[in-house]
Structure 1
Amino acid sequence: MSTDSASRDVSATDGYYEFHDHEDVAHLHALGYKSEFKRDMSPWANFSLGFTYLSPVVGVYTLFAFALATGGPPMIWSFLIVGFGQFLVALVFSEVVAQFPVAGGVYPWARRLWGRRYAWMTGWVYFVALLVTIASVVYGAGPYLASALGIEPSVNNTIIAALVLIALATLINFLGTKVLAMAAIIGFTAEIIGALVVGGWLLIAHREHGLGVLFDSFGAGGDGSYLWAFAAAALIGVYQYYGFEACGDVAEEVSDPGRLIPKAMRRTIYIGGAAATFVCLALVLSVADIPAVISGADTDPVGTLLDDAFGSVGSKIVLGVVLISFLSCAMSLQAAASRLAYSYGRDDMIMGSSLLKKFSQTRHVPPYALLVSALVPAVIVLGSKFSTDAITKIISFAALGIYIGFQMVVLAALRARLKGWVPSGKYTLGAWGLPVNIGALVYGVIAMVNMAWPRTPDAPWYDNWIVALSAVVVLGLGVVYMAVHPLHDRSTAPYDDAIPKVPAER
């Protein structure tokens, strides 16, 4: 390519972004906001943020042993089932973010679709779930870091590892959108290469089974109906497919968000889901003794497999990639949580709004919102020093809380459609909008029931129902807060404007 043509290409690209930046500013102003963020996040970086939040490596490596022991190899089909359901949710979100490309994700979407109180509760549940998920991810990285360093995975070492990851993720986020975007791309690249290399090597050199094993439960579930065993094992899929919403959480940091963010959300589902399924497939076909995993004789099939396949040195390199994945996931979660907290503060919706809405003009990030998204997970992690059982109970709410937040938006979108909302952003589903919306809601309800279903009848009732109880506690605390400190009712930012208003008759 000649220098002149290259210059024209660069000028055309700059002109494209300059045009859309002006358009984006005008659109945001029409929605009632003046953004302080810099639109430094490219479409590729926006997708990478969603991908690293979804994190196929983190999701599969964390839950593989449980899923294989509970449902046997057929558990892999849950990735296809859940992927389709969450794809419907992503389509609904795409229409909403295209019309309302505002930082914060589910909270501002629910605010425009329904109203202030409903939005407050939607954001509250999702925010708590995000903070708990950050703690869950960094805490889950502890054993991998210990293994990589060759030290004992004790409680103290796990806590130190988790706090180090929180500190690194916070530093990356504090450096601004451009650094966050670069880190997201690096994380995506490391994770996708790691997934392909590890999975490919396992399938080429260490495959123990043919594809037929994917239809053999190896007796998982015992003498009862296999459906219940599969439903429990399917949690590996249910816990895998979220993260695409993070693409919309940073809507004010992306140029032409109404067009590009829906694409990034869909790509997160396609590519993230395919990567997770591939990693899981490689692991299933390479586990030599599946009955030993199901019986409980082998409680760490991933560790056993990596050691056998890559040796001590190679397995440490793989663990390094895994740790990068954990860090990238925590970083993306923290970015989403901080934008949500900032969005709350900007609308004066919660105690401490004056700090949460403060903005660093140097780094173009909300510093106090970022601090909250670092300190709360750190406190949860430190709590494991006193009770590992307590942190397990707290973390049990994470995935269900995120699904509740999702489905509150899906429900708000369905209600708005039935009351006359016609999506008017750059991405719409047209006539497919209503059936997709209904399908997304039906899927979400089934998934939430599956997550909350009690599966430990021998445990005390409160442990058996811990997931559902944790949701009740979080929702209850939200209701109490709204009653005691009703700032949301005094918020003057725009709300409930998706549904066309019928002029009053004279």
Structure 2
Amino acid sequence: MSQTQPGSPRAYKQELKRDLSLWENSSLVISATTPATGAFIIAPVLFGLNGTGAALTFSIAAVLGLSLAYCWAELGAAYPIAGGDYTFIARILGRAPGFVSMFITGPVQAVLIPAVVALGMAEYLRVIVNVDANILGAVIIIGGAVIALFGVRLNAIAVTVLLIVEILTVVLVAVFGFINVQRPVTTLLRPEVFDAQGIASPLTLSALVAGIAVGSFAYNGFQGALIFSEETVGARRNVARAVFIALGVAVACEVFPVAAATLAAPSLSELSNSNNPWQYVLTAIGGDTFNTVISLGIAVAVLNAVIALMPYYARILYSTGRDMAWPGAISRALAVVHPKYGTPWLATILVGIGGAVMILCSDVATLTTWTGALLAVEFILVATSALVSRLRNPELDRPYRMPLWPLWPIVAIVMSIAVLSQQVRADLVVAGACVLLALGYYVLYLRPRGETHFLMLAPPDEDRRELEAGMA
């Protein structure tokens, strides 16, 4: 593999419009992390899987999130390149694992994760619109793609406004839940699961570990600060800060409302077995009107996530085109930037269409568990890169250095392997198939074209000058 070190004269051209502040970047990243989605779309899956252990599962998943945040903060500041994980994994571990990462975080997650979010939003909108959730979700995701075409700063402004609604909705649900508690807080520390007949049994360790994959999906997205690094002023100084800001908000917005729902639900059995646990809890503590109002607030919050995820994944696809990861015509098309709005317009459209198609032929639970298994594979690659980078390239300029290295990468690797070991066979088959497909494409197509395809250049001009000058 031929690496391009910082300072190389061969660098990416600055085409994306660089005008995001730290807080605009953070707003986009927090919205892409989708704290409301974690609480209101992913948590219902965990209520069904882990019962009263949902809040505990989210808390343990937060430890995995923190360990990865340290890895992303250090590597993202060292490699400030749009495209996210694969851009540093390919430079550190090699192009083959880099392409596996690119395939997982690019085309695969680009259709899976926005689909989960939009489909979940549709379920809450159905309190006032009696339309098939899959059709409504497809319309929502196409609408989000249209908004994303008009510039990342407009997206940042839009999601900042909607983010306020999102946070207020989460806080309101948590407060009302804690006001109406039905049982002691120790319930959260003695987790139980309930079968279809309502019979309780202790949550097993294997089920708890398996649930961490779902919980970690709820936190996924805070690494988005890396993806917007080429559009952020002072990217190397701010990328690490945005990572930790987004993770902190996500953890608070997911653990507290889930804990409140567990303590406030009239029946834990009904909470675990309900098709929509939140509507059950909201109706129980505030009546039908309260449920309708909060459901609309949740829908607005999740719309925020859809709007944020469109440019998020579009930029990954844009980066893959710029790196010539696909046949020439496809790569060049993905790398085209709109002359007026400075957005990768074709990549944005493809994310919208792909997500809409996925919504029409699947459901939230299936998409969520598939994504959880794929994320565990990605986490192992990220954490391994954080280990290997310090060993192979100790002289690399690192504006942010994680404390207690190598503790955090090791924690992330061990937890991710444990999570993978507890996944059901179908989810492991999906993850394994994606890895094998990516490796097969790399070996058969990319490796023979190593001089012209899957390029790894230096960061754009502004970040390259910082690297060369040792500033940041």
Q: Would the TM-score normalized by the shorter structure come out above 0.5?
A: yes
Take 2:202 and 2:189, find their aligned partners in 1: how far apart are those partners? 17
Cα distance, 1:31–1:50 mapped onto 2, change above 3 Å: farther
Q: Please identify, of 30-39 and 181-190, the stretch whose mean Cα deviation from structure 2 is larger.
A: 30-39
Matched, 1:329 2:302: no
Cα distance, 1:262–1:236 mapped onto 2, change above 3 Å: same
Take 1:85 and 1:429, find their aligned partners in 2: how far apart are those partners? 15
Correspondence 1:139-154 to 2 at 5 A: 139-149=119-129, 151=130
* Offset of residue 333 of structure 1: 2.3
* Offset of residue 260 of structure 1: 0.9
SS in structure 2 of the partner of residue 417 of structure 1: helix
Take 1:243 and 1:167, find their aligned partners in 2: how far apart are those partners? 20
Take 2:61 and 2:80, find their aligned partners in 1: how far apart are those partners? 26
Matched, 1:137 2:117: yes
Correspondence 1:263-342 to 2 at 5 A: 263-294=241-272, 296=273, 298-342=274-318
User: Aligned letter for 1:414?
Assistant: L
* Offset of residue 496 of structure 1: 11
Matched, 1:481 2:441: yes
Residue 418 of structure 2 corresponds to which residue in structure 1?
Answer: 446
Take 1:159 and 1:220, find their aligned partners in 2: how far apart are those partners? 28
Does the 8 A contact of 2:229 with 2:239 survive in 1? Answer: yes
Take 1:218 and 1:427, find their aligned partners in 2: how far apart are those partners? 41
Residue 215 of structure 1 corresponds to which residue in structure 2?
Answer: 189
Cα distance, 1:355–1:306 mapped onto 2, change above 3 Å: same
Residue 354 of structure 1 corresponds to which residue in structure 2?
Answer: 332
Matched, 1:253 2:231: yes
Take 2:294 and 2:271, find their aligned partners in 1: how far apart are those partners? 22
* Offset of residue 98 of structure 1: 0.8
Between Structure 1 and Structure 2, whose CA radius of gyration is higher?
1
Q: Please identify, of 337-346 and 487-496, the stretch whose mean Cα deviation from structure 2 is larger.
A: 487-496
* Offset of residue 94 of structure 1: 0.8
* Offset of residue 357 of structure 1: 0.8
Correspondence 1:94-133 to 2 at 5 A: 94-127=73-106, 128-133=108-113
Cα distance, 1:71–1:117 mapped onto 2, change above 3 Å: closer
Q: How many residues align?
A: 445
Take 2:192 and 2:116, find their aligned partners in 1: how far apart are those partners? 31
Take 2:69 and 2:289, find their aligned partners in 1: how far apart are those partners? 40
Cα distance, 1:397–1:215 mapped onto 2, change above 3 Å: closer
Take 1:496 and 1:34, find their aligned partners in 2: how far apart are those partners? 10
* Offset of residue 117 of structure 1: 2.8
SS in structure 2 of the partner of residue 240 of structure 1: helix
1:494 to 442, 448, 456: 456
The alignment-based identity, stated in percent, is 21
User: Aligned letter for 1:476?
Assistant: L
Residue 464 of structure 2 corresponds to which residue in structure 1?
Answer: none
Residue 406 of structure 2 corresponds to which residue in structure 1?
Answer: 434
* Offset of residue 172 of structure 1: 1.8
Does the 8 A contact of 2:16 with 2:231 survive in 1? Answer: yes
User: Aligned letter for 1:417?
Assistant: R
Q: Deviations over 1:391-422 (max 9, x none)?
A: 86566422322332232122123223222434
SS in structure 1 of the partner of residue 290 of structure 2: helix
User: Aligned letter for 1:436?
Assistant: W
* Offset of residue 292 of structure 1: 3.6
Q: CA RMSD in A?
A: 2.6
Residue 72 of structure 1 corresponds to which residue in structure 2?
Answer: 51
* Offset of residue 437 of structure 1: 2.2
Cα distance, 1:291–1:224 mapped onto 2, change above 3 Å: closer
TM-score for the superposition, normalised by structure 1: 0.81
Residue 18 of structure 2 corresponds to which residue in structure 1?
Answer: 39
Take 2:40 and 2:78, find their aligned partners in 1: how far apart are those partners? 37
Residue 12 of structure 1 corresponds to which residue in structure 2?
Answer: none
Q: Deviations over 1:74-118 (max 9, x none)?
A: 431222221122111111111111111111101211122233333
SS in structure 2 of the partner of residue 193 of structure 1: helix
* Offset of residue 328 of structure 1: 1.9
Matched, 1:55 2:55: no
Take 2:51 and 2:361, find their aligned partners in 1: how far apart are those partners? 34
Take 2:310 and 2:142, find their aligned partners in 1: how far apart are those partners? 11
Correspondence 1:402-413 to 2 at 5 A: 402-413=375-386
Structure 1: unaligned runs, 5 residues or longer: 1-26, 455-464, 498-506
